Amino acid sequence: MSDKDFDCLVFIGRFQPPHRGHLEVIHQALAKAHQVIVLVGSAWQARSLRNPWTFDERSQMIRACFSDEDNARLELVPLLDALYNDDVWVRDVQQKVRELTRATSQKLPNVALIGAQQSQSNYFLTLFPQWQSSSVMPVDGVTSEAIRAPLFKSMESAMAFLDTAADRTLEAPVANAIEAFLGTPAWQALHQEHQLLEAYQSAWRDAPYPPLFVTVNAVVVQSGHVLLVERRSAPGEGLYALPGGFVQNHERLEDACLRELRERVRLKVPLPVLKGSLRAQRLFDEPHRSWRGRTLAQAFYFALRPEQRLPDVRTGQSGHRATWLPLAELDPEQLFEDHFFIIQSFLGLPAGFRADSSPGN
């Protein structure tokens, strides 16, 4: 007779950063199951105020909080988001769990999802009806968002949090890792992004309602290449982004997109040809998709006829360098905000698009 209720428990989260609530769920899972699979979401995304730490950094923080014996039963697996396609994301989760449980069991394993009660994990249960569910009581007053808030405002704010509040929310190994992160080039870039965000939001501070921004983006594809711009300033300095920008008051959305292609990348394609190449358009409205706040993006997909030579592009008014990037070289870590997922939505790139996205520690 087994001393565990389950062969395997699966815990899905972003762990930005791992806090006491997350770790309590994992401790409970280890007590209930022989094997625990922790799927670490938002893997391979560029650093941002919402996703400051890489998968490897979060994995090291989590493992540092458990004994060697516990770590032997703990699988930490990177999980790429699929923001606009639940089916793609669910298939990726199912595949990762199936591969890992097959490696440890000769029989059909008893698998369940585990999470804190009244948390976002409840939403996951509706996507995996073939698995049981197990829940634990949440740790009161502990959220990753509240932990992140003071860490990038200033060095003084971050140190004050670590000195006075971290003990209530973070285990010592996690707090130590965060303290070591302060002052690094990655932290400096996020601190600059925080300053920009505060200055940006100050213009709207007295508005009766939070602002809602409307933007357009162009997904232009030809001969296995996608048209991108390289950002030259924060936020997202050095990252690739889709051409686009704000809609002007007098414009229709499609006209705004065509204008942005003229102004930002000076795409050398006649307007009638470009309009004739429009294959699809879609609204992208994930609530956290943009650093500036609630922002809706209407994206237009142009599939240009294959040619021996790609159309000329030049640096436009924004100063961002335009380039044609082979689709095989697309890397979520190198794309701004949700732009990889916008491209993924139109082109059908699988969640496991990266060559190194197979299960593993």
Using alpha carbons, list the distances in angstroms from residue 163 to 66, 145, 146: 23, 18, 15
Query: Is 195 within the bounds of a domain?
Result: no
Higher-pLDDT residue of 102 and 158 is 158
Higher-pLDDT residue of 210 and 281 is 281
Burial classification of residue 11, based on how many CB atoms lie within 10 Å of its CB (0-12 exposed, 13-18 middle, 19 or more buried)? buried
The residue range of the domain holding 234 is 213-347
Residues 6+ apart with CB under 8 A from 355: none
Query: Is 15 within the bounds of a domain?
Result: yes
Q: Model confidence at 320, in pLDDT bands (50, 70, 90)? A: confident
Query: Is 282 within the bounds of a domain?
Result: yes
What's the pTM?
Answer: 0.89
Burial classification of residue 314, based on how many CB atoms lie within 10 Å of its CB (0-12 exposed, 13-18 middle, 19 or more buried)? exposed
- Mean pLDDT (the chain) is 89
d(C-alpha 9, C-alpha 150), whole Å:
33
Query: Is 118 within the bounds of a domain?
Result: yes
pLDDT over 50 at 94, yes or no: yes
Pair (131, 219) in one structural domain:
no
**Residue holding tokens 């493992």?**
63
Q: Tens digits of per-residue pLDDT, 255-305?
A: 999 999 998 898 999 999 999 999 999 999 999 999 888 999 999 999 999
| CATH at 253 | 3.90.79.10
| CATH at 132 | 3.40.50.620
Q: Model confidence at 83, in pLDDT bands (50, 70, 90)? A: confident
Which of 117, 143, 169 is at the close of a domain?
143
d(C-alpha 56, C-alpha 49), whole Å:
17
Pair (131, 229) in one structural domain:
no
Q: Give Dmax over CA atoms of the chain in angstroms.
A: 73
Query: Is 42 within the bounds of a domain?
Result: yes
Q: Model confidence at 202, in pLDDT bands (50, 70, 90)? A: confident
Which of 118, 143, 168 is at the close of a domain?
143
Pair (139, 220) in one structural domain:
no
Domain count within the chain:
2
d(C-alpha 331, C-alpha 46), whole Å:
9
Listed residue (255, 265, 253, 259) closest to 227, CA to CA: 265
Residues 45-62, mean pLDDT to the nearest whole number = 96
Pair (137, 218) in one structural domain:
no
Pair (116, 243) in one structural domain:
no
Which of 81, 114, 143 is at the close of a domain?
143
The helix/strand/coil state of 141 is coil
Token pair for 1 = 């007779």
Pair (223, 113) in one structural domain:
no
The DSSP code sequence of 279-292 is EEEEEE--TTS-TT
The helix-helix angle for 144-151 and 155-164 (nearest 10°) equals 130
